[in-house]
Structure 1
Amino acid sequence: MFHVVDTMSLAREDRFEWWCQEVARSAAPTRISSEHAADFAGHVGMLSAGPLRATLMAFPTLHSERTARLVRESDPETYELALVLNGTMSVAQERREVRMSDGDFVMWSSSLPYTGLVSGQGDGARVARAVVLHLPRTSLPFPDHRAAALLATGLTARSGVGAVLDRHLRAVLDEAPRLEEAAAAAVGETTLHLVRALLATRLDRQDLLEPETRSAALLARLEAFVEQNLADPGLTPQAVAAHHHISVRQVHQLFRARAETVSAFIRRRRLERCRADLADRRLDHLPVHAVAARNGLADPAGFNRLFKREYGMPPAAYRRSLPRPPRAQRQESVRRSAMTG
């Protein structure tokens, strides 16, 4: 379901040709040129999750062009939705051109000619990173003439559904190597629901969304709100409902799709954050109770019981069971952590 290939495993003279072939296979035949073609260092991760196909790409500056002739010769009839993770991406299609950067979405169609330029940026970085979702035209709930209004336009990921989809995709990429088939299929469905919600919102045509898509998008917003507010001891189902202007009953109904109550979800994510913090060497200077408090668990005794029930040992014992560097190295780690905030 998730396969990774690095061009550095290939002979130098074969790397760029392989990259061009891989783009043609995963998206559509495209003319690609790069000043780094002689020694092309690229990284590709391919994810197949139920109905979703996605490609994570890291590569040096390149220029791409899909001509009218290439469209006539081969057309998978997809929309390509890219999230820029690092660098800049310029796309021109349908007499429009847009330049996007880190944290932006941009969409183009395989059925129309287009040009693109992608490059790294900042601190001399040469490598750009992006995740591209390959969306069959039939997977969107509106006709092609509606979708055409979104091609080569700015789709922000900094607020609303865009921000939720951004965080969702980054989490999916982090967990992709460990996803089992059933979980991957569910993740793929959720991702498509969020994509539809983002595009429908941009078109102001939420009325075209199916009820299942609306519910999935709202649930993702609730989960994102929880993730952002785990440190707040007052985070409750009531607080989640009030923030989103819905009833507590609706919150519970939405979380039934996860086979987990909202309270259980909050508790599990807090414990997972605590466990990660206890394993983080940069936080060795924090007492166990402080680790719990920074994740919204203000009762030390209650935290100890919850942690032991979940992980089989008290939090202090868990921290002691982890390998630790020498004292001098720990002190340097703490010093650097304090300097960086």
Structure 2
Amino acid sequence: MLPETVFTTRDLPASDRFEAWTEQLGRTHAPMHLSSERAADYRGHQRVIGLGEVTVWPATFDHLVFHRTPRLVRQSDPEVFHLSLLRHGDAAASWGRQQVGYGVSDFHVNCSSRSYEISTGSQPVTIIGVEIPRTAVGVPVRRADDVVGRRISGRTGMGALLAGLLVQLTSDTSSYRAADAERLGTVVGDLVTAVFAHALEAEPRLPPETHARTLMLRIKSFVRQHLVDAHLTPVKIAEAHHISRSYLYRLFQEEGLTVASYVRGQRLAGALRDLTDPAARTVPIHVIAARWGFPRPGDFTRAFRSVHGGTPSEVRERALCRPDMDGAHTAVDAARRTTPGSHGDH
């Protein structure tokens, strides 16, 4: 598993909770003065996931006002950019005369080297925070500073790719190994760089290796969104991203994959989810196969068996016909873990 720590105020006496939360966030990001209308019995929960020099921290907490003063900046500056993806609630931030409001699925971008004030709404908020060294963002520092304070959408474009990665990563870290932490940190860093560059309209200035990794994330996202398209071919994928087929093939080869194997793996993963979904138990197998791009049942059965070690009907029976037995889903879970491309995006 990835290196992860959990902090919750519920483990402390009510009188100690807010002070402890203040200290925790000071360690996670940078020292701040915090205040809250709920300080008397504060509720906060945070997971801190270490990804090398990048830290990701999902958290849910009560109303809070963050105030980082010029004096605190002078006293302690870890020189990091902070991004928060707002998952629930609302917030507003100010940097002198500059003020910005944030809603669900917006990114807030901040920097420990600048003073600021941030206030969340009266209801608890849920965020996914990212701490990344300023030097790890592949955009000139002075240019990168111009992104601070902007509201960036996590619903479209590069913001949506970063948001999707953060949500998937933090929803379940058990399938990753400790050795994956550095690689995941690199992926997060590349996407943060791409988000900054896109906000600055400076994407052509990105390092070539960052361009390639970001492009692959875009391509894989496109593939997943179009798996039901029977005409999802390398030509169509390449045209959608304005690249040649040969360059598309090379991108996948650098990850030890082929375009066809990745598409097939994703389709088989989708079919597995449907086959093991109790709500879809009455849907005929050939219908599920066709839905995921396998119009010929025989082809689907052979491909499915080669990956999951059993026929579609056998896997469905193990998953759905004995739900009350311990371990009834073991074979399905194992199949999911070994599905080609199931974690290849990270």
Same fold (TM over 0.5): yes
Residue in 1 aligned with 2:72?
Answer: 70
Taking the TM superposition and a 5 Å limit, the aligned residue runs for 1:242-253 are 242-253=239-250
Moved more, 104-113 or 91-100: 91-100
Residue in 2 aligned with 1:31?
Answer: 33
Residue in 1 aligned with 2:91?
Answer: 89
Taking the TM superposition and a 5 Å limit, the aligned residue runs for 1:186-335 are 186-323=183-320
CA separation of 1:55 and 1:93: change in aligned 2, threshold 3 A: same
Q: CA RMSD in A?
A: 1.9
Give the partner amino acid of 1:104: D
Q: Is the 8 A contact 1:93 1:151 kept in 2?
A: no
Q: Which whole-Å CA distance do the structure 2 matches of 1:184 and 1:256 have between them?
A: 23
Q: CA deviation at 1:181?
A: 2.4
Quote the sequence identity (%): 33
Moved more, 169-178 or 78-87: 169-178
Residue in 2 aligned with 1:148?
Answer: 145
Q: Which whole-Å CA distance do the structure 1 matches of 2:290 and 2:62 have between them?
A: 43
Residue in 1 aligned with 2:120?
Answer: 118
Residue in 1 aligned with 2:53?
Answer: 51
Q: CA deviation at 1:250?
A: 0.9
Q: Deviations over 1:46-102 (max 9, x none)?
A: 111233211111112211111112112211111111111222121212531111111
Residue in 2 aligned with 1:336?
Answer: none
Give the partner amino acid of 1:311: H
TM-score, normalisation: structure 1 = 0.88
Q: CA deviation at 1:6?
A: 2.9
Q: Which whole-Å CA distance do the structure 1 matches of 2:124 and 2:293 have between them?
A: 38
Q: CA deviation at 1:158?
A: 2.4
Matched residue count: 321
CA separation of 1:38 and 1:242: change in aligned 2, threshold 3 A: same
Q: Which whole-Å CA distance do the structure 1 matches of 2:16 and 2:296 have between them?
A: 59
Residue in 2 aligned with 1:158?
Answer: 155
Moved more, 12-21 or 99-108: 12-21
Q: Which whole-Å CA distance do the structure 1 matches of 2:11 and 2:293 have between them?
A: 45
TM-score, normalisation: structure 2 = 0.87
Structure having the higher helix fraction is: 1
Q: CA deviation at 1:323?
A: 4.7
Q: CA deviation at 1:226?
A: 0.7
